[in-house]
Amino acid sequence: QIAPLQRITRFITAQGGVPGIQLAHAGRKASTYRPWLGKQGSVKLEEGGWQPVGPSKIAFDPQHTPPRELTHDEIQDVIAAFVASTERALRAGFKVVEIHAAHGYLLHQFLSPLSNQRRDEYGSSFENRIRLTLQVVEAVRKVWPAELPLFVRVSATDWVEDGWNPDETVELARRLRGLGVDLIDVSSGGTSVNAEIPTGPGYQTRFAERVRKESEIATGTVGMITEPAQAEHILRTGQADIIFLARELLRDPYWPLHADDDLGGNKATWPAQYQRATSRANPIHESDLRD
């Protein structure tokens, strides 16, 4: 995969961007159907699925296959796999790596008492539940150049009583800062199908703000941030250091350029082929139709 990824990273760099990659292990959420197929739960073995693994034999929901509990040796293999992926990412030309420890994927599964009911050194207490995430980050930081950013994505809360919570997130962020993490990407949820999440514009920014202030580390925030003025307010009021955009960029890939225009920056450089369309106020002429 390295050679094809190098073509992508070279192109991103040539356009003035910085290529980044997110590394994750799905854990008990693995072996599922593509979302757009309209099917829920795990893919059956006879249909090409496989046995998922996790910290404990607890399925995400009744439609998912219960995972096989990882052994101690297999946990060490997971750490090694993250390291190998990081080394491949570096050779492929990526300049930012983000370790995904959120949204109910494997590292989050170890963090949350809802999915982790182990009784060994990787379960039960807070110190034990954060052990794998810390070990992965420590190992990755050793092979990822010090001058290149390392992010970690976390779910600040499970939105479920007795689940992973903001207090634990703040303390985990402190530990990650000490291991050389540059920024915490703060999201929420994903480990419980029964979570009641009060979604709304900027509903997760308060978690990023708390981590930023109490853990003294840079944070990014995400979730229903759709308007330039809204994003600018989050940054100027110190709620976060970076705005992460996902679905809004799918809707409008040129959102940052429009935002620059809306906020009066006038610093953005549009591709030459798009310059005639940079302003929404530009009228359409007959010559445009011929073009």
Alpha helices in 147-204 (DSSP H): 166-178
Catalytic residue status for 274 = no
Q: Judge contact between 42 and 52, C-beta under 8 A.
A: yes
**How many alpha carbons lie under 13 Å from residue 69 in its C-beta half-sphere?**
13
Phi-psi region of 28 (alpha: psi -120 to 50; beta: other; left: phi over 0): alpha
Q: How many helices (H) and strands (E) does the chain have?
A: 11, 8
- Whole-angstrom distance, CA of residue 16 vs CA of residue 4: 19
Q: Which residues contact 283 (CB under 8 A, 6 or more apart)?
A: none
- Whole-angstrom distance, CA of residue 258 vs CA of residue 265: 10
Give the active site residue among 105, 122, 203, 254.
105
- Whole-angstrom distance, CA of residue 120 vs CA of residue 201: 40
Kind and range of the H or E run holding 290: helix 286-290
Q: Which residues are catalytic?
A: 105
